[in-house]
Amino acid sequence: MNQLEHLKQHTTVVADTGNFLQLAQFAPQDATTNPSLILKAVQQPDYRPLLDEVARAHASLPLDERVDRVLVRFGLEILKVVPGRVSTEVDARLSFDTDATVQRALRIMALYEAAGVPRERVLIKIASTWEGIQAAAVLERQGIRCNLTLLFAFCQAVACGAAGVRLISPFVGRIYDWYKKNQGARWDEAANAGLADPGVQSVTRIFHYYKQHGIPTQIMGASFRNVGQILALSGCDLLTISPDLLASLQASPDAAPVVLKAGTGAAQAAVSFDEKAFRWALNEDAMATEKLSEGIRAFAHDARLLDTLIEGVR
């Protein structure tokens, strides 16, 4: 077996891409998308006709509805390849509006259901703001499963678990990026690799906390910068991995032994966060505050670019 096959024995492997034509070679269980990945895909000749087709077919609809139809169309194509679920993201510009997030999620799910896709094959992706977590709680009670993304802080993970969220996506690579940039010339790559990687340590803490306290929310490590980060989280519930890193794993003959095992972490006391405590804990974590804001801005920027492409279709 290659390293990817070894990893699949312990962890559900998810492809992090909008390029559905690439998926079959890696045989992932699920796939995740976001506006940035869809934007990247539709700038390629293999995918641009799909955007044009959907935009022309629904030219009379408001722009936000045309955007959702493009996102869902990509999701439908992905679901033809993967046997499991696809994550489709609510517009990041709604990250601080609970009601609007719920309504947008309901519309996305209605589009999937109209195409014959059952709810259990779709995860609605929402930023892990306080408002986003509350929206997810509403949706989960209606049987709509959510993937809470842009998760950097422990308080976000705890609040998601309390809200009954189906899955969270802690961003390993972006945490690593922040600490590396923050330390500058003092950064020691070797000393911060593998289990010492700050992004790996964040996911590891959440994993053991959830398992110790019987929280059923699934943990899907995301945003990897190198294979070492992936291997250090072997045993995590799920890992969503970009095509280039999937290819690296597939090309390696090495094993991928289990690292994360339930019942092996240091004991952690149960904690809870109401809105005030959540906002304070997030504020006290400079890395999480900066990366969450930065991530929302970046997704919103790419959403605007996607809007422009769709508006330009005649």
Q: Give the three-state DSSP class for 43.
A: coil
Query: What is the per-residue pLDDT for 91?
Result: 97
Q: Given 8, 40, 80, 125, which residue is catalytic?
A: 125
Whether 40 is catalytic? no
**H helices within 119-254, ranges in order?**
130-141, 154-162, 172-183, 198-212, 227-231, 243-251
- Asked if residues 203 and 222 have their Cβ atoms less than 8 Å apart, the reply is no
- Asked if residues 134 and 98 have their Cβ atoms less than 8 Å apart, the reply is yes
β-bridge pairing 86-89 and 12-16: unpaired
Helix (H) or strand (E) run with residue 298 in it: helix 286-311
- What is the mean pLDDT of each successive set of 10 residues along the chain, which is 314 residues long? 97 95 94 90 93 96 97 96 97 98 98 98 98 98 98 98 98 98 97 98 98 98 98 98 97 97 96 98 98 97 96 92
In 3D space, the residue among 300, 301, 311, 298 whose CA is nearest the CA of residue 67 turns out to be: 311
Q: What is the pTM of this model?
A: 0.96
Half-sphere exposure in the Cβ direction for 302 (13 Å, CA): 20
Cα-to-chain-centroid distance, residue 52:
26
Query: What is the per-residue pLDDT for 34?
Result: 87
Burial of 264 (0-12, 13-18, 19+ CB in 10 A): exposed
Going from the C-alpha of 167 to that of each of 25, 215, 302, the distances in angstroms are: 25, 11, 24
N- to C-terminal Cα separation, the chain: 49
Helix (H) or strand (E) run with residue 168 in it: strand 167-170
Give residues with Cβ within 8 angstroms of 268, minimum separation 6.
Answer: 205, 208, 209, 212, 213
Q: Give the three-state DSSP class for 274.
A: coil
Going from the C-alpha of 68 to that of each of 99, 256, 306, the distances in angstroms are: 17, 38, 11
Looking up tokens 């390696």 gives 252
Helix and strand counts by DSSP (H, E) for the chain: 13, 8
| Per-residue DSSP letter, 60 | T
CA–CA distance, 211 with 196 (Å, rounded to integer)? 21
Look up residue 129 and give its amino acid. Answer: T
Query: What is the per-residue pLDDT for 61?
Result: 97
Rounded (10°) angle between helices 198-212 and 154-162: 30
In 3D space, the residue among 243, 75, 87, 213 whose CA is nearest the CA of residue 150 turns out to be: 87
Query: What is the per-residue pLDDT for 150?
Result: 98
CA–CA distance, 107 with 91 (Å, rounded to integer)? 12
Report the CATH number of the 3-311 domain.
Answer: 3.20.20.70
